[in-house]
């Protein structure tokens, strides 16, 4: 009988066999991971978050905005502000 490599594998044969086995199992595990990822559903998408309600402007803030834009002068602003404060609920009328 004719043996091409003598009576057994040399050190390089064992190294090559070990490297080939590690690569084989790495490819098998990577294939399983990719298969599981491909078959699993994506992240669950819910409804978009609801923005907080925008507070309604107060009469004082509307008056201040009109004053800031130059629609009314300082005298009218102070007069209107006094009228608003005098008609507050719980405030004694004069």
Coil vs helix vs strand at 56: coil
What pLDDT, in 10s, does the model give residues 35-72? Answer: 999 998 877 778 888 989 988 999 999 999 999 999 99
**Residue 53, token pair as written in the block:** 């309600």
The Cα–Cα gap between 22 and 15 comes to: 11
The H or E element containing residue 15 is helix 11-39
Coil vs helix vs strand at 75: helix
Whether the full predicted model's pTM is greater than 0.75, yes or no, is no
Q: Residue 3: pLDDT band by 50, 70, 90 thresholds?
A: low
Locate the domains of the chain by residue range: 11-39, 58-94
Residue 63: exposed, middle, or buried by beta-carbon count in 10 A (0-12, 13-18, 19+)? buried
What pLDDT, in 10s, does the model give residues 12-29? Answer: 788 899 999 999 999 999
């Amino acid at each position: 009988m004719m043996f091409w490599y003598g009576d057994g594998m040399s050190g390089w044969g064992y190294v090559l066999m070990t490297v080939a086995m590690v690569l084989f199992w790495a490819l098998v595990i990577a294939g399983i991971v990719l298969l599981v990822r491909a078959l699993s559903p994506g992240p669950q998408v819910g409804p978009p978050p609801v923005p907080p309600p925008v507070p309604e402007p107060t009469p004082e803030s509307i008056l201040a905005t009109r004053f800031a834009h130059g629609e009314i002068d300082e005298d009218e602003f102070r007069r209107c502000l006094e009228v608003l404060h005098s008609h507050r609920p719980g405030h004694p009328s004069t």
